[in-house]
């Protein structure tokens, strides 16, 4: 019976071309080229696994003698993260309405603000810290500024996108009563996205504290410089202590901000 | 007489607002000495910063540097790409192990999630520092550092994406006798794919930015030239590097938001026939 | 021999709900069986037990003489196709792949990880698609089809596995009347021509009269009617849909009155 039916089976339409194998092999080829160009040999990783294990075993006896100093540095890192985040929030708060397509007073302002935020985002915070350190001197303040400028780009973009997603009717209602630009944003814009804003800001705070831990590498304060120094002197025991303190703090903060964010939802 | 009040029952600002504002202000005050905040230095040093940035534009860029710059920038992009691909390959199975609805054993899922949290807790540069002192200078420790952090992020986001897929099609496939892996590859993977791609693009974006500074600790890419240009005030190179980074990061950003838009909005039509 | 048989089948969910109480049934090949019953009477639970999507608390299910167990689940499911109220297609895959999913139980994991199938599987899927009249939609994404078309793809998916039984849990509850008759007609035709036993949960007594060979009435997890559709008088329908507990509204009214 089945074969009988087979004879007058209606033909399938032509099969569309499946481009996935093509793209996958292109990507594979590209990766192979990259590995060759970067001169990476995974064999060394395979052959040298004993050396690598030995290397990581050097971190197994952390030395907490200088713990108070490290904790103080971690505190400094956290302060940097906080100041950076507040700065970012202020900048983003002021710029975002101009970068929201549906609110911006004119396309010029819109494009200009967007590009400005984009530029801030594109400049890595380490680069900004390097520049600010060489013009302002060593210390945590340039670090905080660098974090603030870089993450303002992110916050500004996220805020603007949230403002764009607010129902059109809410802005229209404000237009209808004759509200001005700033009134529209204050009474329809921000209240509608308050929750998202808080979430983003907490996330950025988290991120800034995490990144703040490396700004010390370029002289911008915080715990990074201590890590750099201990590793340069091959003091693995102290480096291990530093890493543990960093990790502990970051994980606790991560849990905390996760908790607050889930409370908000 | 002017009698102002807030539109709340008691006429005072909403409690959530002023408590938060006060709390943040207090924290800022307490931490001000920690960041060595000083308005005076800020104002006076602002001058120096403007001067510093101004000097970049006063010099002719060093055109002969461009070929070397291009090579280093290429290396940067290669590091980011390779690390992203490696991290994706590692994170896919981890994501399935960590997702509550896909994991074979819940305790395995919890362990994977904790390991992922550990991997992403420390920034790339710290891992780079560790890997450089383990296997020496060069782009390889950079690739490893970025891979490690990306696995931390992707494993977690892949798992999150899997946990929110509708259960109906999963049951539909299982009801036809599909095996464990078959259910995952035919019902779960396709449904989570748009989210996977979204995550992948965000991570790629982030990795390009992270790769630009790896050179600071000797882990390859443009970062090494960048630090030197700033340390030795080579403004004629610095301007090229900064504009180059800006251009590259922006291009990748545009590309990934275009693809993301295609996958999320245009995807239905495109993949349909 | 009965194609599906159960003995003293009971199901109690983890939260304590007793969904089925000692159901013993024997369903024949080539019969169209309709299960009727009020909401919560255990219809879905019964079908899900037939397919091993739930495990019984007591009693057992045999498909074609094999007792369903954890070990042979995959093997037995080859014989049992399932059609769902909400279709449960994988929307992002095209129609052909969705139908090929019916072949997975016969294939190893290695090829299916790469979404590769044999020529033979394609022929079977093609045939199933032609059977439900959707061959021309083979390469369209499943979520672009109308509800009725999606349900037909669901039936094709079940057909592709060459089953002895097709279970259908409210297959037409999300469809309009015209599409509903189309889908039920298709199931009936499959039942007749291929000798496949079809077991469908329905909420519509008139469809039941039209399509069923045998009707099983469930109430509170017990079989209280098992006969030909001709015997389904209004009176007996009333007993099937009878509710024990008082409706919520009256109890509320009583409460309110007690305080008056
Ligand atoms: N996963 C579950 N966990 C706990 N209780 C359940 C579960 N699924 C069903 N039940 C309960 O079991 C009983 C029978 O449910 P079932 O879904 O089989 O009813 P049904 O006859 O299909 O109803 P409907 O016509 O509304 O689909 C109900 O009381 C229901 O609340
Ligand atoms: Mg049901």
Instruction: Please answer yes or no on whether C135 and A12 come within 8 Å at the CB atom.
Output: yes
Helix A67-99 / helix B15-31 crossing angle, nearest 10 deg:
130
Q: What is the pLDDT of residue A7?
A: 58
Give ligand 1 pocket residues (Cβ under 6 A).
C 13, 15, 17, 19, 37, 39-45
Minimum CA distance residue for ligand 1 atom 29: C40
> Are the C-beta atoms of residues C127 and C70 closer than 8 Å to each other?
no
In terms of residue numbers, what domain contains A97?
A: 67-264
Q: What is the pLDDT of residue C255?
A: 44
pLDDT at A56 over 90: no
Among A46-55, A250-259, C83-92, the range with the most confident prediction by mean pLDDT is C83-92
For residue A215, being part of any structural domain is answered with yes
What is the distance in A from the centroid of ligand 2 to the CA of C133?
A: 28
Which tens digit of pLDDT belongs to each residue from A115-148?
999 999 999 999 999 989 888 888 899 999 999 9
B212-220 mean pLDDT: 91
pLDDT at B177 over 60: yes
Closest Cα in chain B, distance from residue A170 (Å):
19
pLDDT at A52 over 70: yes
Strand partners, C27: C4
Q: Which of A170-179, A254-263, B175-184, C239-248 has the lowest mean pLDDT?
A: C239-248
Tell me the ligand closest to C54's alpha carbon: 1
For residue A121, being part of any structural domain is answered with yes
Q: Which of A107-111, A122-126, C120-124, C241-245 has the lowest mean pLDDT?
A: C241-245
Which tens digit of pLDDT belongs to each residue from B108-156?
999 999 899 889 888 899 899 888 888 888 999 999 999 999 999 999 9
CA distance A22 to A20: 5
> Are the C-beta atoms of residues B6 and B13 closer than 8 Å to each other?
yes
For residue A224, being part of any structural domain is answered with yes
- Nearest neighbour of A251 by CB, restricted to B45, B81, B121: B121
pLDDT at C67 over 80: yes
C207-223 mean pLDDT: 93
CA distance C42 to B103: 29
**Per-residue tokens: B211:** 């790769």
Q: Using a CB–CB cutoff of 8 Å, tell me whether B240 touches chain A.
A: no
Minimum CA distance residue for ligand 1 atom 31: C40
Closest Cα in chain C, distance from residue B78 (Å):
27
For residue A149, being part of any structural domain is answered with yes
Q: Which of A213-227, C115-129, C171-185 has the lowest mean pLDDT?
A: A213-227
Chain B: touching chains (3 or more CB pairs < 8 Å)? A, C
A64-88 mean pLDDT: 91
SS (H, E, C) chain B: CCCCCCCCCCCCCCHHHHHHHHHHHHHHHHHCCCCCCCHHHHHHHHHHHHHHHHHHHHCCCCHHHHHHHHHHHHHHHHHHHHHHHHHHHHHHHHHHHHCCCCCCCHHHHHHHHHHHHHHHHCCHHHHHHHHHHHHCCCHHHHHHHHHHHHHHHHHHHHHHHHHCCCHHHHHHHHCCCCCHHHHHHHHHHHHHHHHHHHHHHHHHHHHHHHHCCHHHHCCCCCHHHHHHHHHCCCHHHHHHHHHHHHHHHHHHHHHHHHHHHHHHHHHHHHHHC
How confident is the prediction for chain A on average, in pLDDT? 87
Which tens digit of pLDDT belongs to each residue from B83-105?
999 999 999 999 999 999 999 99
Between A241 and B270, residue with greater pLDDT: A241
Structurally, chain A folds into a number of domains equal to 1
Which tens digit of pLDDT belongs to each residue from C18-52?
999 999 999 998 999 999 999 999 999 999 999 98
How confident is the prediction for chain C on average, in pLDDT? 88
A179-207 mean pLDDT: 86
Minimum CA distance residue for ligand 1 atom 4: C13
pLDDT at A84 over 90: yes
Q: What is the pLDDT of residue C244?
A: 62
pLDDT at C160 over 90: yes
Domain C4-12+19-241 CATH superfamily: P-loop containing nucleotide triphosphate hydrolases (3.40.50.300)
For residue A10, being part of any structural domain is answered with no
ipTM value for the complex:
0.84
Which chain B residues have a beta carbon less than 8 Å from that of A48? 135
The helix or strand, by DSSP H or E, that contains position C227, with its residue range, turns out to be: strand C222-227
Which tens digit of pLDDT belongs to each residue from B203-212?
999 999 999 9
Which tens digit of pLDDT belongs to each residue from A20-37?
889 999 999 999 999 999
What is the distance in A from the centroid of ligand 2 to the CA of A167?
A: 37
pLDDT at C249 over 50: no
Minimum CA distance residue for ligand 1 atom 6: C13
Which chain C residues have a beta carbon less than 8 Å from that of B271? 92, 141
What is the distance in A from the centroid of ligand 2 to the CA of C23?
A: 17
Closest Cα in chain C, distance from residue B55 (Å):
55
- Nearest neighbour of C126 by CB, restricted to A1, A9, A16: A9
C174-200 mean pLDDT: 92
pLDDT at C109 over 50: yes
Tell me the ligand closest to C17's alpha carbon: 1
> Are the C-beta atoms of residues C108 and C126 closer than 8 Å to each other?
no
CA distance A84 to A62: 31
In chain C, % of residues over pLDDT 70: 93
The CATH number for A199's domain is 1.10.3720.10
Q: What is the pTM of this model?
A: 0.84
Q: What is the pLDDT of residue B172?
A: 92
- Write down the residue that tokens 């329908």 correspond to: C237
């Amino acid at each position: 019976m089945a074969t009988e039916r087979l004879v007058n089976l209606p033909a399938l339409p032509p099969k569309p071309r499946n481009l996935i194998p093509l793209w996958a092999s292109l990507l594979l080829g590209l990766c192979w080229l990259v590995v060759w160009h970067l001169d990476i040999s995974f064999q060394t990783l395979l052959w040298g696994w004993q050396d690598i294990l030995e290397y990581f075993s050097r971190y197994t006896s952390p030395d907490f003698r200088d713990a108070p100093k490290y904790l103080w540095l971690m505190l400094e890192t956290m302060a940097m993260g906080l100041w950076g985040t507040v700065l970012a929030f202020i900048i983003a708060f002021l710029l975002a309405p101009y970068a929201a397509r549906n609110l911006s007073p004119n396309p010029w302002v819109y494009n200009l603000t967007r590009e400005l935020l984009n530029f801030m985002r594109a400049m890595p915070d380490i680069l900004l810290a390097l520049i600010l350190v060489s013009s302002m001197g060593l210390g945590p303040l340039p670090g905080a500024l660098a974090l603030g400028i870089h993450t303002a780009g992110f916050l500004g973009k996220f805020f603007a996108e949230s403002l764009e997603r607010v129902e059109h009717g809410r802005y229209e209602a404000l237009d209808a009563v004759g509200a001005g630009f700033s009134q529209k944003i204050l009474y329809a814009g921000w209240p509608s996205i308050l929750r998202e804003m808080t979430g983003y800001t907490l996330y950025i705070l988290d991120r800034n504290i995490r990144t703040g831990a490396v700004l010390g590498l370029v002289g911008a304060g915080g715990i990074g410089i201590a890590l750099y120094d201990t590793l340069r002197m091959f003091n693995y025991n102290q480096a291990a202590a530093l890493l543990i303190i960093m990790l502990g703090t970051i994980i606790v903060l991560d849990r905390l901000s996760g908790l607050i964010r889930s409370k908000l939802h | 007489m002017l009698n102002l009040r807030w539109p709340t029952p008691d006429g005072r600002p909403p409690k959530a607002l002023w408590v938060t504002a006060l709390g943040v202000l207090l924290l800022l005050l307490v931490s001000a000495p920690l960041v060595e905040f000083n308005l005076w230095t800020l104002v006076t040093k602002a001058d120096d910063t403007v001067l510093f940035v101004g000097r970049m534009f006063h010099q002719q860029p060093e055109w002969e540097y461009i070929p070397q710059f291009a090579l280093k920038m290429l290396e940067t992009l290669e590091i980011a790409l390779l690390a992203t691909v490696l991290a994706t390959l590692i994170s896919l199975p981890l994501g399935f192990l960590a997702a509550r609805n896909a994991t074979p054993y819940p305790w395995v899922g919890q362990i994977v999630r904790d390991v992922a949290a550990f991997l992403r807790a420390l920034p790339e540069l710290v891992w780079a520092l560790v890997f450089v002192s383990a296997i020496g200078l060069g782009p390889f420790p950079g690739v490893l550092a970025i891979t490690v952090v990306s696995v931390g992020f992707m494993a977690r986001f892949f798992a999150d994406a899997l946990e929110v897929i509708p259960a109906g099609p999963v049951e539909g496939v299982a009801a036809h006798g599909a095996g464990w892996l078959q259910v995952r590859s035919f019902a779960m993977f396709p449904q989570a794919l748009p989210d996977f791609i979204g995550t992948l693009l965000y991570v790629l974006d982030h990795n390009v930015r992270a790769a630009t500074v790896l050179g600071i600790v000797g882990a390859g890419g443009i970062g090494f030239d960048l630090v030197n240009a700033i340390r030795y005030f080579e403004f004629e190179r610095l301007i090229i590097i900064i504009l180059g980074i800006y251009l590259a990061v922006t291009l990748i950003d545009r590309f990934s938001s275009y693809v993301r838009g295609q996958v999320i909005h245009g995807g239905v039509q495109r993949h349909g026939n | 021999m009965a194609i599906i048989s159960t003995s003293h089948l009971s199901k109690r969910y983890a939260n304590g709900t007793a969904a089925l109480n000692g159901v013993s049934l024997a369903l024949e090949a080539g019969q169209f069986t309709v299960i009727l019953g009020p909401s919560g009477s255990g219809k879905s639970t019964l079908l899900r037990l037939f397919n091993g999507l739930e495990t019984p608390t007591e009693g057992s299910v045999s498909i074609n003489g094999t007792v369903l167990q954890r070990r042979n689940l995959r093997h037995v499911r080859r014989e049992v196709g399932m059609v769902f109220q909400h279709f449960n297609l994988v929307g992002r895959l095209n129609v052909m792949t969705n139908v090929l999913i019916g072949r997975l139980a016969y294939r190893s994991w290695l090829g299916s990880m790469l979404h590769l199938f044999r020529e033979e599987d394609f022929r079977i899927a093609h045939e199933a698609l032609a059977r439900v009249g959707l061959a021309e939609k083979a390469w369209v994404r499943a979520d672009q089809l109308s509800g009725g078309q999606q349900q037909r793809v669901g039936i094709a998916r079940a057909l592709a596995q060459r089953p002895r039984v097709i279970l259908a849990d409210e297959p037409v509850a999300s469809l309009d009347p015209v599409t509903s008759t189309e889908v039920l007609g298709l199931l009936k035709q499959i039942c007749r021509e291929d000798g496949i036993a079809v077991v469908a949960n329905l909420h519509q007594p008139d469809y039941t009269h039209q399509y069923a060979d045998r009707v099983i009435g469930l109430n509170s997890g017990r079989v209280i009617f098992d006969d030909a559709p001709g015997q389904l008088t209004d009176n007996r329908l009333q007993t099937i849909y009878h509710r024990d507990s008082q409706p919520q509204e009256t109890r509320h009214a009583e409460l309110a009155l007690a305080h008056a």
